[in-house]
A and B are shown apart, each in its own frame.
Chain A
Amino acid sequence: MWSYISRRLLYAVPILLGVSMLVFALIHLAPGDVVDLLVPPEVPRDVADALRRRFALDQPIYIQYFAWLGRLLVGDLGISFFNNRPVSDELFSALGNTLMLALPATVLGFGLGVMFGALAAFNHGTWLDKAFSAAAITGVSLPHYWVGIVLVAIFAVILNAVPAQGMGAGGFPTSWEQLRHLILPVVTLSLIPMGVVSRLVRANVLEILSHEFVSTLHAKGLMSRRVLYHVMKNAAPSALALMGLQFGYLLGGSILVETVFNWPGSGGLMNLAIFRRDIPVLSATILVLAAIFVVINILVDVLQALIDPRMRR
């Protein structure tokens, strides 16, 4: 098992190096540079050039890349071109805010998804199957930012039951007042994961239920609960792979949901950095999110290997 984990961790290094090169190259290929956005167009040419030198934008791109990589390796994510704040402060604050939504959305979305999918499969062909499948398809099909706006209109504006936007006092929610701010964005964010996971679990469970070993277990007199355990254990690996990806997407932040709810998460940070061509913020954010994706997938691989020893080979 340890050699499996070590192999996975080793693979991460070239993956992240490749991602860093790709990210750096793509950002610099985008039209325009940050100086064009930072200052009005009629700024004197020598002042604009001095600014470019200050940001080392006059250096060849490979020199800029290695300098950036060197700083990254010692934990220095750089300084925002736009507001002079350390990128690490901006990024980890945004990630923290996104995690505040992503974790409960994950629990809600995956929990409901597994439950709906399993119930639909075990009641295949009945009205329950149709009802849960419809719920799953609705979750996947409706634009979640539109659902967010509708939820705000009903629960915040008309009923005034929950806040319409924002994080409230900020920080980790320790009071009901702060928790109220989470309700609508978490529900909104959970819809797509719920729908996607539900559909996959239903398909997997149906497929496994058709295997001979299930009939054999029933024939041997095993209780339904134990049969369910075996079925779900067999369905878990592919569901886990999907959940890992979905969680990674949630951590990347949903710019649309963050916009509707004015939530200062990583999606909004990345969006702002793109518009501003704020290269340090953009490159660090993408690389950190890529690293998180890699780590999550390693964890998923490990979990899968624990559940199904065949995957260790």
Chain B
Amino acid sequence: MLMRSAWRLALSAVTILALAGSAWAGGTLRVALTATDVPTTTGAPDNGGEGIRFLGFPVFESLVLWDLTRADKLAEIRPGLAESWEQDKNDKTKWIFHLRRGVKFHDGTDWNADAAIWNLDRFLKSDSPQFDPPNAAVTQARNPYYANYRKIDEYTIEIGTPRPISYFPNMVTWALYVSPTQFKKVGSWAEFAKAPAGTGPFKIVDFKPRVSASLARNDEYWDKTRIPKLDKIVVFPMYEATTRLSALRSGQVDWIEVPPPDAVPSLKSAGFQIVANSYPHSWPWTFNLAREDSPFRDIRVRHAINYCVNRDGLVTLLNGLAEPAFGLFKKADPFFGKPKQQYAYDPAKAKALLKEAGYGPEKPVKAKIMITTSGSGQMLPLPMNEFLQQNLKECNFDISFEVVDWGAMLVALRNPPSAPQGLGVDAMNISLHISMDISQFALFNLSGNTPPKGRNWPNWKNSEFDAVIDKIEKSTDQEEILANIQRAHEIFVDDPPWLFIVHDRNARAMTKNVKGFTSAQSWFQDFTTVYME
């Protein structure tokens, strides 16, 4: 009897352990990135959205984070290293952040207001020993609204903005916080990069420049509901698409970012997962509206070209790794609104508009577009633009290209369109708009933010848009804010500074052993739920 009970007890124990093991399989996830190098590990990752996705939020956190747990709606902000925040009732330019208690950096030191101020000094106080000029410049560019900041008590800080900005918390997500103690111990950012310390669910345990970075689970992570299931993530920079594909198919990696579109059918038939989601990740042409003789100064021409694009054809060319774009946001997003212009592939309408504007078969619209051979977020610029060139010909657009490298395009972007660096182009094919929300939408497109001050390269100036953004910034009513964002987007679509072409679905391919991944509607992703079966 005793033996039988012991046997049953042992069997139950084994069963429980086995079930627990399969539910928490862990394992090591090996990821091939499109980056040319391992993103920097100092808490200010380079290599664009991909750098932040893998070596930003998983390792370092901000006061405010993105909720990346859902695939069915746009990611929204949520509390991070700040448990809550509010605008000062008497002065809307002041934001009070209540810091989360009980959080430790990876080196075991405490997160508190002193650490927060130290990190803000890193980006904003040029005479501080930890001032980091290149990353300070990037952080300030992404959020130029830090006017002042101060510690109120051990777990409260105040950040001031130059004017009331209701969406300031969204912009706070760009600054990631690192351990001051660790920096002081190693003495420089170059040394910190070899042994970084953040607060995130993963910690960097190995870093080989140009080869790989390894992230291990942080068992002491403050959010006990988000302790990672994986033991480790190893990321490899592999900017050549065929190399990534070979690495996946030969079993060297488990997950690749951006599989080549023409490999998608064979990957699917070989049992690999192709995971993508829909989110605002626009791949547009941005028009040069500054030049007096630019054909795109005529709104009818801008409408016409938007009605001429065969978006579905381009999506077919990309084997479904993109989706049609009709604005900055997608039609399903709450911010889209109801613009008058409902763009669709309508060559007849496009030709009629052009005829009104004085163009036709005898007098096509001649336009030169700056495109790149590659670049962050540029997808497959050469075949995609060749497709558009042929497509637009049917509506009497005569498109030629100025092909440059990515660096040259960024130089052009930073200067007025009339500058020599602009090469006299009428539009630029550039995908730089990391945005799921109002903050970057406003920053990029306000009239006052033309180069060299900002990124409104088209020189698009719409006073109604500016007025609506002003209302959004001053408002505290969420419904009013949403209605005004919709209005701002309607203006953006009806008076378009862009040719809306497609949204990049940012697909990834992975082996069938990768489980638990939720593809958030965001440029960033949550790896804490992923495990290897």
- The answer to whether A165 and B140 touch (CB under 8 A), given A36-B411, A37-B410, A268-B210, is no
Quick check: B190 and A42 within 8 Å, CB to CB? no
Contact digits for B494-515, partner A, Cβ 8 Å, 1 yes 0 no: 0000000000000000000000
A32 touches B411 (CB 8 A): yes
Known contacts A36-B414, A157-B249, A269-B210: A42-B449 contact under CB 8 Å: yes
User: Is B250 touching A164 in the complex (CB atoms < 8 A)?
Assistant: yes
Q: Which of A13-21, A81-89, A187-195, A218-226 contacts B (4 or more CB under 8 A)?
A: A81-89
**Which chain A positions have C-beta within 8 A of B210?**
90, 94, 264, 268-269
Given the known A-B contacts A43-B137, A272-B37, are A37 and B407 also in contact in the complex, defined by CB atoms under 8 Å?
Answer: yes
Whether A147 sits at the interface, judged by CB under 8 Å, is: no
Given contacts A31-B421, A43-B141, contact A163 B410 (CB under 8 A): no
Identify the interface centre among A42, A166, A261, A276: most chain B CB within 10 Å of its CB.
Answer: A42
- Which of B140, B252, B410, B449 is the one whose CB lies under 8 Å from A44? B140
Interface assignment of A234: CB less than 8 Å from any CB of chain B: no
Contact A38 B134 (CB under 8 A): yes
Shortest A102–chain B CB gap in Å is: 17
Interface residues on A, range: 35 or more
Q: Are A156 and B133 in contact (CB under 8 A)?
A: no
B247 with A165: CB separation less than 8 A? yes
Interface assignment of A93: CB less than 8 Å from any CB of chain B: yes
CB closest residue in chain B, given A79: B190
Residues in B27-51 with C-beta less than 8 Å from chain A: 36-37, 40, 46
Cβ–Cβ < 8 Å partners of B208 in chain A: 170
* Contacting pair B407 A41 (CB below 8 A): no
Nearest CB on A from B33, distance (A)? 11
Complex formed: what's the CA distance from A277 to B252 in Å? 32
Inter-chain contacts of A90 with B (CB < 8 A)? 209-210
Q: Are B455 and A40 in contact (CB under 8 A)?
A: yes
- For A41, A82, A86, which residue has the most chain B Cβ atoms within 10 angstroms? A41
Shortest CB distance A267–B (Å): 12
Is B190 within 8 A of A84, CB to CB? yes
Residue of B nearest to A86 (CB): B190
Q: Which of A42, A54, A86, A275 contacts B36 (CB 8 A)?
A: A275
Interface residue from B40, B243, B249, B407 paired with A32 (Cβ < 8 Å): B407
Output the nearest chain A residue to B137 by Cβ-Cβ distance. Answer: A39
Kindly provide the distance from the CB of B241 to the nearest chain A CB, expressed in whole angstroms.
10
Q: Is the CB of A164 within 8 A of B243?
A: yes
Q: Cα distance A67–B446 when bound, in Å?
A: 43
Is A47 in contact with B137, judged by CB distance below 8 angstroms? yes
B452→A45 contact, CB < 8 A: yes
Look across to chain B and name the residue whose beta carbon is closest to the beta carbon of A162: B250
**In the complex, what residues of A have CB within 8 A of residue B236's CB?**
166, 262
Chain B: CB-nearest residue to A93: B209
Are A167's CB and B250's CB within 8 A?
no
**Which residue of the partner chain, among A54, A272, A275, A277, contacts B133 with CB atoms under 8 Å?**
A54
Pick from A37, A44, A85: contact of B209, CB under 8 Å: A85
Judging by beta carbons under 8 Å apart, are B250 and A160 in contact? yes
**Bound-complex Cα distance A44 to B193 (A):** 26
Within 8 A of B (CB), among A28-78: 31-32, 36-45, 47-48, 50-51, 54
The verdict on B99 contacting chain A, using a C-beta distance below 8 Å, is no
CB contact under 8 A between A42 and B141, given known A84-B190, A156-B246, A259-B239: yes
* B255-279 contact mask (Cβ, 8 Å, vs A): 1 or 0: 0000000000000000000000000
B83 within 8 A of A: no
Does A134 sit within 8 A of B, measured CB to CB? no
In the assembly, what is the distance between CA of A90 and CA of B190, in Å? 13
Q: Which residue of chain A has the shortest Cβ distance to B454 in the bound complex?
A: A42
A152 within 8 A of B: yes
Give the CA-CA distance A89 to B190 in the complex, in Å: 12
Of residues B246, B406, B457, which shows the largest number of chain A Cβ atoms within 10 Å of its Cβ? B246
With A31-B408, A275-B36 in contact, is A157–B246 under 8 Å at CB? yes
Instruction: Given A39-B141, A48-B137, check contact A82 B246 (CB 8 Å).
Output: no
Any B CB within 8 A of the CB of A260: yes
Contact indicator A41/B243 (Cβ below 8 Å): no
B410 touches A275 (CB 8 A): no
A142 at the interface (CB under 8 A from B): no
Q: Which residues 292-335 of B have a CB within 8 angstroms of A?
A: none
Say if the beta carbon of B72 comes within 8 Å of chain A.
no
Please give, as numbers and ranges, the residues of chain A lying within 8 Å of B126 by CB-CB distance: 50
A259 touches B246 (CB 8 A): no
Identity of the chain B residue whose Cβ is nearest the Cβ of A41 in the assembled complex: B414
CA gap between A163 and B238 in the complex, in Å: 14
Indicate whether A50 sits within 8 Å of B133 (C-beta atoms), given known contacts A31-B421, A164-B252.
yes
CB distance from A33 to the nearest CB of B (A): 8
Q: Which residue of A lies closest to B142 (CB)?
A: A40
Interface membership of B405, Cβ < 8 A: yes
When C-beta atoms are compared, the residue in chain A nearest to B190 turns out to be A84
Query: Are the C-beta atoms of B252 and A165 separated by less than 8 Å?
Result: yes
Q: Is A22 an interface residue (CB 8 A)?
A: no
The answer to whether the Cβ of B251 comes within 8 Å of any Cβ in the partner chain is yes
Q: Bound state CA distance, A44 and B137, in angstroms?
A: 8
Tell me whether A277 and B407 are in contact (CB under 8 A). Answer: yes
* CB of A290 within 8 Å of the partner chain: no
Chain A residues numbered 267-291 whose CB sits less than 8 Å from any CB in chain B: 268-269, 272, 275-277
Closest partner residue, chain A, to B136 (CB atom): A47
When distances are taken between beta carbons in the complex, the residues of chain A under 8 Å from B107 are: none
Q: Give the docked Cα–Cα distance between A157 and B243 (Å).
A: 11
CB distance from B173 to the nearest CB of A (A): 16
Provide the bound-state CA to CA distance between A70 and B137, in Å.
30
Let me know if A83 and B40 touch, CB within 8 A: yes
| Residues in B neighbouring A272, C-beta threshold 8 A | 36-37
Give, as a whole number of angstroms, the nearest-CB distance from B139 to chain A.
10
Nearest Cβ on chain A to B43's Cβ, whole angstroms: 13
Q: Which residue of A lies closest to B444 (CB)?
A: A42
A164 and B246 form a contact (CB under 8 A): yes
Interface residues of B in 447-465 (CB under 8 A from A): 449, 451-455, 457
In the assembled complex, which residues on chain B have CB atoms less than 8 Å from the CB atom of A170? 208, 211
Residue of B nearest to A259 (CB): B240
Residue of A50, A93, A165 near B243 (CB, 8 A) is: A165
- What chain B residues lie within 8 Å of A82 (beta carbons)? 46, 134
- Is there an interface contact between B37 and A31, defined as CB atoms closer than 8 Å? no
Q: Are B141 and A160 in contact (CB under 8 A)?
A: no
Report chain B residues within 8 Å CB of A275. 36, 405-407
**Nearest CB to that of B405 among chain A residues?**
A275
A149 on the B face (CB < 8 A): yes
Query: Contacts of A38 on B, CB cut-off 8 Å?
Result: 134, 137-138
Instruction: Supply 20 A–B pairs (Cβ within 8 Å), ascending by A.
Output: A32-B408, A32-B410, A38-B137, A40-B141, A40-B455, A41-B413, A41-B451, A43-B138, A43-B140, A79-B190, A85-B190, A89-B209, A164-B243, A164-B252, A166-B247, A260-B242, A262-B237, A262-B247, A275-B406, A275-B407
B residues contacting A by CB (< 8 A) are: 36-37, 40, 46, 126, 133-134, 136-138, 140-142, 144, 188-190, 193, 208-211, 236-240, 242-243, 246-247, 249-252, 405-408, 410-411, 413-414, 421, 443, 449, 451-455, 457
Other A-B pairs, 17, CB within 8 Å; known A82-B134, A152-B246, A262-B236: A31-B408, A40-B455, A41-B451, A43-B141, A44-B137, A47-B136, A50-B133, A93-B209, A149-B242, A153-B246, A160-B251, A166-B247, A170-B208, A170-B211, A262-B238, A262-B243, A269-B210
